[in-house]
Chains A and B, each alone.
Chain A
Amino acid sequence: MKQKDKVLYLFLFVIIAAASLASGLLGNGGGSTLEISSDGHVIKSLALSEMPSGTVIVLREGGGMNELLVSGGSVRMISADCPGGDCLKMQPLSSGRGVIVCLPHKLVIKLKGDQAQKPDGVDAVTY
């Protein structure tokens, strides 16, 4: 039965392909800068290389507390006082990819390749 299966699969395939191309173009790639945003605003931008293994980052955002552990170039959530604690179950950020989201505290933690840019948008100043 079901000759229209192919149509549906093809349709979905096109959607996923288009979406992945679009997201590839967005260039939301990872990297070595840990970017923490709360409610859509970047609150911290830290160079992973400057944090020794074992660094714990304590975040008090969105009325709660989260603790991130940096170890061997990867980052994971080690404690959170939210119901459910979904973020604790999320895969650690490493090799510059992935995202940790703590919905209750509106936290999004990801790795960005971009180093923190100067506020005026230039890479360097000649004088």
Chain B
Amino acid sequence: MRSRTEKTAILALFSALALATGAIESLFPIPFPGVRLGLTNVFHFLALLIYGSAEAVMVASVRLFLAFLLTGNPFAFACSAGGLLCSLPLSIFLYKKYGDDLSVPAISVASAAAFNAGQVSVVVILTSEPSILAYLPVIMAIGSVTGYLVGYIAGNLRCRIESCRLRRSP
């Protein structure tokens, strides 16, 4: 029912939007290496909601690698990769397994927490400074808010995209 072309186009659009959001976010001051608003995560999360896990991984990795190519910053890459490595499997697991029991923002909050944990772990490993772990709770608390925001936006966008699609294809 859905055309492959449409899917390719939409996923490409998601990746591009994620990249753009990332670029905008990088303009803001950050409290901690790699800690950002996390709005880029809206797009792979959206891919998970609309299409599925494979597509989510695809959008996330395309954004990850393209951002690396564009900025040439291997450390931001390592941080994001560490975060995604923790958060992606968790959000896929929660969505597939508990999708009926958990709301979209809740899943997003959980993945944000996992993302932060992964990210801070990478920083700790790279700097050999375990004391940085002490900042994890604060980062996670902030991450919960942005996580909720991400989930809320992604949930809303899904409704809009799907209703728009319904209207177009009778």
Give min CB distance, B122 to chain A, whole Å.
9
Please provide the chain A residues from 12 to 42 with a CB less than 8 Å away from any CB of chain B in the complex: 12, 15-17, 19-20, 23, 26, 28, 37, 39-40
Q: Which of A15, A39, A90, A103 contacts B29 (CB 8 A)?
A: A90
Cα of A90 to Cα of B139 in the assembled complex, Å: 14
Taken residue by residue from 61 to 99, chain A's Cβ proximity to chain B (1 for < 8 Å, 0 otherwise) reads as: 000000000000000000000111011011100000011
On whether the beta carbons of B129 and A37 are closer than 8 Å, the reply is yes
Which of the candidate stretches B6-14, B15-23, B70-78, B162-170 sits at the interface with the other chain?
Answer: B70-78
Give min CB distance, A63 to chain B, whole Å.
13
Q: Any chain A CB within 8 A of the CB of B131?
A: yes
Cα of A3 to Cα of B138 in the assembled complex, Å: 27
On whether the beta carbons of A4 and B132 are closer than 8 Å, the reply is no
Given contact pairs A86-B75, A91-B31, A20 touches B144 in the complex (Cβ within 8 A):
no
Q: Which single residue of chain A is at the shortest CB-CB distance from B77?
A: A84
On whether the beta carbons of B132 and A101 are closer than 8 Å, the reply is yes
Q: Any chain B CB within 8 A of the CB of A2?
A: yes
Which of the candidate stretches A52-60, A104-112, A117-125 sits at the interface with the other chain?
Answer: A104-112
Cα of A32 to Cα of B28 in the assembled complex, Å: 27
Cα of A17 to Cα of B102 in the assembled complex, Å: 22
A83 contact set on B, CB distance < 8 A: 71-75
Give min CB distance, A77 to chain B, whole Å.
11
Q: Interface residues of B toward A: which range? A: 35 or more
Main secondary structure of the interface of B (DSSP, over half): helix
Q: Any chain B CB within 8 A of the CB of A5?
A: yes
Q: Any chain A CB within 8 A of the CB of B1?
A: no
Q: Any chain A CB within 8 A of the CB of B137?
A: yes
On whether the beta carbons of B140 and A101 are closer than 8 Å, the reply is no
Give min CB distance, A82 to chain B, whole Å.
8
Given contact pairs A39-B128, A87-B33, A101 touches B123 in the complex (Cβ within 8 A):
yes
On whether the beta carbons of A108 and B138 are closer than 8 Å, the reply is no
B contacts, CB < 8 Å to A: 26, 28-34, 71-76, 78-79, 98, 100-103, 106, 109-110, 113, 123, 126-129, 131-138, 140-141, 144
Known: A3-B101, A83-B75. 7 other contacts (CB 8 A): A8-B109, A23-B134, A23-B135, A98-B31, A103-B33, A103-B127, A106-B128
